[in-house]
Structure 1
Amino acid sequence: MEIIKLHHPYNKKEIPQQDTVLVLGFFDGVHRGHQAVINEGKKIAKEKDLKLAVMTFNRHPAIVYTRFNPDQHYYLTTLQRKETIMEKIGVDILYEVDFTAKFGSLSPQDFVDDYIVGLNAKVAVAGFDYTYGKPEVASMEHLNQYAQNRFEVITVSPKIDKNGKISSTRIRKAIKEGKVGLAADLLGYYFETEGFVIHGDARGRTLGYPTANIYPDPYLLLPKRGVYAVELFVNDKWYRGMASIGYNITFEKRRNYSVEVHLFDFNEVIYGENVRVKWVEFLRDEIKFDSAESLVEQLGLDEIKARDILWKRKSTMLM
């Protein structure tokens, strides 16, 4: 997959001189609804023998136009993670546009001229709710008039399951509630966060459950407080384990969240290493125990349950 980063106004020499089917969207999470849109473009590209291109932004427009609110703007995927998923789906060209005030101020017609026609699109594909300006003048319903017969417009209906539309908002809600299994079903793969390993207070080691303390990416959503069955990717390999998110309330409540991962059958020094945490299933809420002994007893039960879940987990998901 070719990745092309664009900053408005871009140089036309940056654009491959070949016709494409262009799929439009921000695609935070690249969830099953997004995958349906991209796969529609993929199907058309194959029928017409064209390259499949996707255009997305490097940051969400809301972050540019409003005061940052972490409760609303935490991402489901980093840009790098988005790239990995796009490549696995089969995208040929990924355009990543810097979302700036200048880019965001483009008129609908200028956007179409520069970022659909200008990217050599013969077909533009997007979800039913895609906009490229104020919705009242820049919705998918208006796109044909701006296209001026230069490209075909395909609008993809929402992907629905028994509980409604699959959306980033719905997935974000599930993760905040600790329902990472539900989030995985909606995403089409297990939800992941990223970070790097830092020093902690080493209390887990004294209890017989040493943990890797993770400093998480501040822009990625974290699941709610509690204990989870997880997998951790470090040094090019996945390891099974269990993770705790919370304030360490049994001993002394911390001021800030901690993310601690105990890996099964693992004994390596990984301070400073970049890691990814795959959140497989929620085990229980964070609990304040009366003693260290009670905590260790519960950790033993958590490990049994986590090992069982991880050895049986779905292996047929997208990622």
Structure 2
Amino acid sequence: MKTIKIKHPYKKTEIVNEDIVLILGYFDGVHLAHQEVIKEGVRIGRERNLKVALMTFNRHPSIVYRKINAGQYASLTQPEQKEKIIESLGVDILYEVFFNSEFGNLPPQEFVDRYIVGWHAKVIVAGFDYTYGKADVASMAQLSDYAKGRFEIVKVGEAKESGKTISSTLIRQYIKNGEVEKANAMLGYSYETLGFVIHGDARGRELGYPTANIYSNPYTFLPGVGIYAVWFIVKGKRYMGMASIGYNVTFKDQSELSVEVNVLDFNEEIYGDDVKIEWVAYLRGEVQFDGAQGLIDQLQKDEEATRKILEMQKD
């Protein structure tokens, strides 16, 4: 997949000079509903022997326009994760547009003329709720008026999981509540976070459950406080783990949220190494124990539950 970063106004030489199928959307999380949109675009492209391009943005438009509190917003997918999933679905060209006021304030007709017709799109594929400006004048319902017969429009309807419409907003709420199993069902894969290993206070080692302390990538959307069964990926290898997100309430009252993973059947020094965590299942909430032994007894139960859950997921 070829990735092209665009800043308005773009130069014609930056654009692939051939007819394309163009898929439109921000695609945060690239969940199952997003995947249906992308797969439809790829299917049409292969059927008509056209390259398939996807347009997305470097940041969420709602942050720019303060519809979302920027200080509380974090993406479900980091750019590299998003690109990897999109590429795996068969997209040929990824256009990442720098979203600023100059681009965001384009009138709908100008957006269509410059960024659809100007990009040689013969077919547009987007979700039913896609907008390219204010919803009352720039929704999928009005797109045919701006198209003026110059390209075909394919609108993909909503997708549901367990009777609920799949959306990034609902997935984010599930993750925040610790309901990662529900989130994963809508994503179509286990929710992933990225980071690297830093030094901790080594208390886990004293308890017989050493942990890797994780510094998460900036703007990472972390699951809610609790204990989870996870897959831990480091140096290209995948290990079972039980992760804790919390404040170490048994031993100290810390104000900063920490992410720690006890990696099962693992004894290597990995300080500074990049890691990925796949959040599989919620085990329990954070509990303040009377002392170390109470915590150790519970960790033994957590390990047993973790192994049972993850053994079922082994390839």
TM-score band w.r.t. shorter chain = over 0.9
CA distance change for structure 1 residues 125 and 197 in 2, over 3 Å: closer, same or farther?
same
SS where residue 130 of structure 1 aligns? coil
Q: Distance in 1 between matches of 2:90 and 2:47?
A: 15
Q: Which amino acid aligns with 1:56?
A: T
| C-alpha distance in structure 1 between counterparts of 2:39 and 2:301, whole Å | 42
* TM-score normalised to structure 2 length: 0.97
For 1:115 and 1:172, the matched residues in 2 are separated by: 30
d(CA) in 2 for partners of 1:214, 1:162: 33
Please give the per-residue CA displacement for 1:188-244, whole angstroms capped at 9, x wherever unaligned: 000011111111111001111111101112312111111000111111222211100
1:53 to partner: Cα distance? 0.9
In structure 2, the partner of 1:214 is 214
Count how many residue pairs are aligned between Structure 1 and Structure 2: 315
Equivalent position of 1:32 in the other structure: 32
1:105 maps to 105
**1:65 counterpart residue number:** 65
Between 1:297-306 and 1:64-73, the stretch displaced more is 64-73
Residues 1:134 and 2:128 aligned together:
no
State the match for 2:309 in structure 1.
Answer: 309
Deviation at 1:41, TM superposition (A): 0.8
- Supply the RMSD in Å over aligned alpha carbons: 1.3
Q: Aligned letter for 2:209? A: Y
1:144 equivalent to 2:171? Answer no
* Aligned AA (2:280): V
In structure 1, the partner of 2:85 is: 85
The 2-side partners of 1:178 and 1:258 are apart by 15
Q: How many Å separate the matches in 2 of 1:128 and 1:34?
A: 11
- 1:70–1:203 CA distance, 2 compared to 1 (3 A): farther
Q: Which shifted more, 209-218 or 246-255?
A: 209-218
For residues 273-317 of structure 1, what are the alpha-carbon distances to aligned partners after superposition, in whole Å with 9 as ceiling and x for unaligned?
1111110100111000011011011101100110111110275xx
Aligned to 1:158: 158
> Is the 8 Å Cα contact of residues 76 and 172 (structure 2) preserved in structure 1?
yes
Question: Cα distance, 1:253 vs. partner?
Answer: 1.3
8 Å CA contact 2:161–2:185 kept in 1: the answer is: no
Partner Cα distance (2:283, 2:165) in 1: 27
1:1-319 alignment, distance < 5 Å: 1-66=1-66, 69=69, 73-313=73-313
Query: Which contiguous aligned blocks of 4+ residues in structure 1 show a shift greater than 4 angstroms?
Result: none
d(CA) in 2 for partners of 1:5, 1:264: 41
CA distance in 1, matches of 2:52, 2:39: 10
CA contact (8 A) 2:30 2:82 kept: yes
The letter of the residue matching 2:262 is H
User: For 1:30-63, what per-residue CA distance to the aligned partner results, in whole angstroms no more than 9, with x for missing partners?
Assistant: 0000001111111111221111111000110122
Partner Cα distance (1:36, 1:125) in 2: 10
List runs of 5+ in structure 2 lacking aligned partners. none
User: Aligned equivalents of 1:21 and 1:109: distance in 2?
Assistant: 19
How far apart, CA to CA, are the structure 2 residues paired with 1:171 and 1:280? 14
Structure 1 residue ranges without an equivalent (≥5): none
